[in-house]
Amino acid sequence: MAAREPSRYMARALPRALGSTARPQGIACRRFASDEAPARRLSSQMDELETASSLEGTVSEDVAKSFDPVAQANSRKTQLPRSRYQFRSPKYYRGPLHPHQPPPPSDPSSRVFVPGPFSSPRAQQTYTSTIAQDILALCYVHNPPGFKPPPKAPRLREWDDSPPTIRTGPSVDRVVERITIHSHVKGAIKENSSWLHVAGMAIQTISNVKVTTYKSKTSVPSWGVVPGRDTCAVKAELQGENMYHFLGKLIDVVLPRIKDWPGIKGSSGDSSGNITFGLAPESVAMFPEIEVNYDMYPPKMIPGCHITLHTTAKADKDAQLLLSALGLPFYGKMIN
Amino acid sequence: MATGSNGARRIVSLLRPSLVDSGVCRSCQQTLGRRNYASAATEASPSEASSTAAPPVLKPVYTINAGMVLSRAPLVTRDLEPFEKAYHFYQKRLNERLTLPFTKYFYFKRGTPADADWKNKIRERRTPARDIGHYDPYGPEAWNDELLVGSRESDPEYQAEMLVQDAESTANNTSQDTSKREEIPRPFPRVTEADKKGDHHSLNRLLPRTLYLLVQSNEGYWKFPSSPVEKDESLRGAAERTLVQSAGINMNTWTVGYHPVGHHVYDFRHPRPGQATGTTLHGEKTFFMKGRIMTGQANLSANMQNLKDFKWLAKEEIPQYVLPQYFSNVKNMLSDR
């Protein structure tokens, strides 16, 4: 077989070589990794999963019907001691040599374990299925082979050990990384702390994230702010599932209902792809979580807030493209 | 075998009329062959032409087509895998076990009808969450948080139904007017009429998937709408013109960017004489632009491209209609979802 292979190749190739060729002969069969990309259906790839007894075989109807874990547990005469099945994570970390080590954070018995995700957010699915590929097609820069783009002056000064804060050059990869909701509570300085409690509760309700409070660092005499004394702001940082749910609510429920909302100002942004805009107290009250029991909030104390959308875009222009694709309009003069 | 066939290839490449040096590797040869402008420039210079003794390369002539891959983006979220459903449900019950108790006093004032309604419900389902079934996260049987075979609690449809029923009963129990029953609208079904009827002309089918517009020529071949690029016309302009000429003006579309997202090369079995300049055509090269449909519908009644039918198809359905070679060229620019 092996000996016959070249002659077979010759027999196929010679007539082509002797005849007029339309184009230079390429490699007969080119193969790309993407040619073999499987359709991304998990259930069709169950055979690739590790074998486990739960995945093998089927359970007959009557066995499944008669299975009652609570009754089984109650019928047990003797119990194992609690220490055998209930692991308690140590309260303090006593070093790597201590016999009682805390479990990894992904373990439900860990003290820092956070459950989730609970859903697959719609905004995220829209991003991955529609927006990401459209941005890729929109921003693709084609350099023909042999062409070298002319060198561009760097936007920021070059740094030798290039710290991660410096981000230069265009990029197609644009995602909303995190969202910060920040609210400066004036009433907490002028009057009492109840303003701060209500503001924290409201921000926590709309974001599903526990807020942190901040004290003033600078003195503003006209506002009566003394550094280090007054707690004057609450902030929530959203990532992942919470962030996408918040973004979805903001874009589809709250912003369309604001009267005469012109959009985000085109000049907003820190020139590194992070865009900020503000919401008035009456807009914050439009979030569905606050609306369902609006009566429980003192209406005067519902806070306004600033929302910062941190994106991986390296210039404001790129971030504006991403956010307008997500459904946040911009108005006025666009400044990068 | 490898050395043998390599030797044969080398002989064949020597026999092949080619401008390029046989010392250049195969993939580089291909790249060099593709550089049409550069090779044209070298041929033009007289000193180069006199120095090269090799026979002139036969440059193939192709018709350049512009095509439009018009797609309708997914309208609803995708169907979750059974594993994802089970995982999300497990995390929800775990969350009930691990979080602090629900702050009832903040949401329900004592003595109100809403408070009474809440007490009834919590007595029945044992947990503030409305969509995780009957489960007591703080009781002695909190460990029993796994679903049994055949239970529907992890199903999103079931959860949506539970939420609606809960909202309905709250509205009925707390309203002053007991004469009429409150009706909360259910979410629209994810499977539409067009899905049930198998109507491939409708844009209302397969809501969680991306749909692509395919047209059928009078000869019976299915393809994305495409036609030759005319003189002084950009690729994007040609693609937009093709779409209007084939599927009518009753569509609000957006062409994404100015670059093609894919291409398809079709070699004729035998070179044909071209219509325009008397050249011999060796095939067609189609470059596809990406488009999105916002509103409207395709209409072939006034088409100028010899088309007889159109269909809106998801990625998996396309290979049933187009030729295998065509699909292998276009499949990587189509969305998985």
Asked if the structure places residue B180 within a domain, the reply is: no
**Arithmetic mean of pLDDT, B61-86:** 94
Same domain, B87 and B67: no
Same domain, B199 and B240: yes
**Arithmetic mean of pLDDT, B149-163:** 92
Same domain, B220 and B164: no
Question: Nearest CB to B149: which of A64, A113, A134?
Answer: A64
Q: What is the CA radius of gyration of chain B?
A: 32
Same domain, B157 and B206: no
Same domain, B143 and B209: no
Calculate how close chain A gets to B215, using CA atoms only, in Å.
23
Nearest-angstrom CA–CA distance, B216 and B308:
6
Residues of chain A where predicted confidence (pLDDT) is lower than 70? 1-56, 155-172
Asked if the structure places residue B185 within a domain, the reply is: no
User: Is the pLDDT assigned to residue B31 strictly greater than 70?
Assistant: no
Placement of tokens 């309708």 in the chain: B72
CATH number of A176-331: 3.30.1440.10
Give A45's Cβ-side CA count (13 Å radius). Answer: 10
**Arithmetic mean of pLDDT, B267-294:** 89
Nearest-angstrom CA–CA distance, A139 and A318:
9
B193/B34: higher pLDDT: B193
Asked if the structure places residue B282 within a domain, the reply is: yes
User: Is the pLDDT assigned to residue B253 strictly greater than 60?
Assistant: yes
Q: Domain of B72?
A: 62-76+191-333
* pLDDT of amino acid B48: 42
Check if the beta carbon of residue B312 is closer than 8 Å to that of residue B212: yes
B190/A21: higher pLDDT: B190
* pLDDT of amino acid A3: 45
* pLDDT of amino acid A286: 96
pTM of the model: 0.81
Nearest-angstrom CA–CA distance, B25 and B3:
15
Same domain, B236 and B216: yes
* pLDDT of amino acid B57: 61
pLDDT digits (tens, 9 = 90+) for B92-120: 999 999 999 998 888 888 998 989 999 99
Question: Nearest CB to A130: which of B74, B328, B332?
Answer: B74
Contact yes or no for A23 and B4 at CB 8 A: no
Question: Nearest CB to A17: which of B12, B73, B80?
Answer: B12
Residues of B in contact with A24 (CB under 8 A): 18, 20, 29-30, 32-33, 57
The stretches of A113-210 forming alpha helices (DSSP H) are: 122-126, 132-139, 186-190, 194-207
* pLDDT of amino acid B277: 66
Same domain, B22 and B116: no
Facing residues of A311 across strands? A176
User: Is the pLDDT assigned to residue B240 strictly greater than 70?
Assistant: yes
Give DSSP secondary structure letters for B59-116: ---EEEEEEEEEEE---SPPPPPHHHHHHHHHHHHHHHHHSPPP-HHHHS-TTSHHHH
Same domain, B201 and B277: yes
Asked if B104 reaches chain A (Cβ–Cβ under 8 Å), the answer is no
Angle at Cα A217 formed by Cα A215 and Cα A218, nearest 5°?
130
For chain A positions 27-56, those within 8 Å of chain B (CB to CB) are: 27, 34-35, 39-43
Same domain, B217 and B311: yes
Question: Nearest CB to A140: which of B15, B144, B259?
Answer: B259
Residues of A in contact with B68 (CB under 8 A): none
Question: Nearest CB to A24: which of B30, B98, B150?
Answer: B30
Asked if the structure places residue B179 within a domain, the reply is: no
Domain boundary among B147, B174, B201: B174
List, in order, residues 6 or more apart from A40 with CB less than 8 Å away: B336
Nearest-angstrom CA–CA distance, B222 and B318:
9
Contact yes or no for A17 and B257 at CB 8 A: no
Check if the beta carbon of residue B118 is closer than 8 Å to that of residue B104: yes
* pLDDT of amino acid A229: 84
DSSP assignment letter at A161:
T
Cα–Cα separations (whole angstroms), residue A60 to A63, A64, A83, B149, B262: 6, 6, 35, 10, 51
Check if the beta carbon of residue A178 is closer than 8 Å to that of residue A202: no
Amino acid residing at B251: M
Where do the structural domains in chain A lie, given as residue ranges?
A: 176-331
Asked if the structure places residue B105 within a domain, the reply is: yes
Same domain, B224 and B280: yes
Same domain, B204 and B294: yes
* pLDDT of amino acid B52: 45
User: Is the pLDDT assigned to residue B332 strictly greater than 50?
Assistant: yes
Asked if B88 reaches chain A (Cβ–Cβ under 8 Å), the answer is yes
* pLDDT of amino acid A17: 46
* pLDDT of amino acid A84: 83
- The average confidence (pLDDT) of chain B is 85
Counting the structural domains of chain B, the total is: 3
Asked if the structure places residue B186 within a domain, the reply is: no
Check if the beta carbon of residue B265 is closer than 8 Å to that of residue B329: yes
Same domain, B211 and B318: yes
Residue of A nearest to B333 (CA): A133
Asked if the structure places residue B259 within a domain, the reply is: yes
pLDDT digits (tens, 9 = 90+) for A20-36: 444 444 444 455 555 55
